[in-house]
Amino acid sequence: MSNLRTEEFDINMGPHHPSTHGVCRLLLTMDGEKVVKVVPYIGYLHRAIEKICENRTYAMCIPILDRFEYVTAMSCNYVFSLAAERLSGIEVPERAEYLRVIMLELNRIASHLIFFGTTAMDIGALTPFLYALREREYIMDLFEMTCGQRLTYNYIRVGGVSKDIPNEFTPKCRETVATISDKVEEYKRLLNGNPIWKMRTIGVGKLDADLALAYGVSGPILRASGVDYDLRRDDPYSIYDRFDYNIPIYQNGDVYDRYMIRLDEIQESCKIVAQALDQIEDGPIRAKVSPNFKPAAGETYTRIENSRGEMGVYLVSDGTKKPFRVKARGGSYPHLQLLPEIATNCMIADLVAIFASFDVILPEVDR
């Protein structure tokens, strides 16, 4: 068999391939089923978000940036608001900080549930997708109850949040995080012992810590490679120092570890939400900020820990009511850039598993 003559050929995976989670084209050079070369082509979803933001007031930028990374739109709202607050020195009321943390962590759980479902589906197991979306629906209900939206919230505003939570939110939220924390154990029982799942994930797409750092990899993928770096603790923002939670670390950096670390993070986020619900007190939810507010001239690069890694906004204000420059940095951008480094010389089925384990979302890459 080994001296069978094979000929390399090019094949387009995408732009509309189901496993690319958006619109991304991978130009593959194949030798049989082996991938010899991968070249990612992006830009199919480029909407010029940064240019549009330069022509809007700060309040109008937030719903635009919702579309930057729509799976965790709360983070997009938050990172932009935080940058504007840092420029203008606005103090956010205590209750608003708690509401923000609750929403950010619920959104992280929802995003990791999507990851869990779609990764399992890409690798060939359909059931986890149905389970994950069922649990995610509870979180969507909570968001809908609070701000009326299920995907693009426009909830976190400069100076606070747009609305207070309704009375029925707190008991329902407690119940939801308790349920999801239990369900994660069920997910682990469902997949972790499955020999097919193990063969498809353990040792596949290994990423070592040095390569990950060199390529600017962040978030769960970096921590799955053994680098202990979480911006909630290492570049502190908001009130995360008031909660007791762990930051899971895995060492192997393969698809299996990247999957395990996200399931663990769901449980840690559940802990944070439960503690925040215990600690939250009544009070104002928004500082007094004019809709046409003008931050002081200056610039800042603000970053937070999103479910897909570091999410940052480079914001320049020239003292007028429109931002002078908004640059949105998403976690998926460097992850997709890294893909050719670790996907070369793997099988095409493993390429799908690696791509899925990176949890790349293309609107965040293209902006």
Partner 1 sequence: MNNEELKAYIESHYGSQLTYNEAGKYDLLFEVDASNLVTVCEKLKNDSELLFDYFCNLSGADTTERFEAIYNLASTKKKIRLDIKVILPHENPVVNSVQTIWPAANWYEREMWELYGIHINNHDNLTRFLLHDEWDEGFPMRKDWDAPDFIRFPDL
Min separation Cβ 136 and partner 1, Å:
30
Interface pick for partner 1 out of 66, 265, 310, 364 (rule CB under 8 A): 310
Min separation Cβ 170 and partner 1, Å:
33
- Confirm if 158 and 84 have CB atoms less than 8 A apart: yes
- Confirm if 52 and 328 have CB atoms less than 8 A apart: no
- What track of x and - describes contact with partner 1 for positions 331 through 360 (by CB under 8 A)? --xx--x-----------------------
Specify the stretch interacting with partner 1 by CB under 8 A; choose among 132-140, 179-187, 191-199, 317-325: 317-325
Specify the stretch interacting with partner 1 by CB under 8 A; choose among 30-38, 135-143, 210-218, 247-255: 210-218
By the rule CB under 8 A, 16 interacts with partner 1? no
Interface pick for partner 1 out of 15, 36, 57, 194 (rule CB under 8 A): 57
Interface pick for partner 1 out of 70, 131, 169, 215 (rule CB under 8 A): 215
Closest CA relative to residue 328, chosen from 26, 21, 78, 41: 78
Min separation Cβ 235 and partner 1, Å:
7
Specify the stretch interacting with partner 1 by CB under 8 A; choose among 43-51, 114-122, 135-143, 166-174: 43-51
Contact footprint for partner 1 (CB under 8 A):
41-43, 46, 48, 50-51, 55-57, 86-87, 213-216, 227, 229, 234-235, 292, 296-303, 310, 312, 314, 316, 321, 324-325, 327, 329, 333-334, 337, 366-367
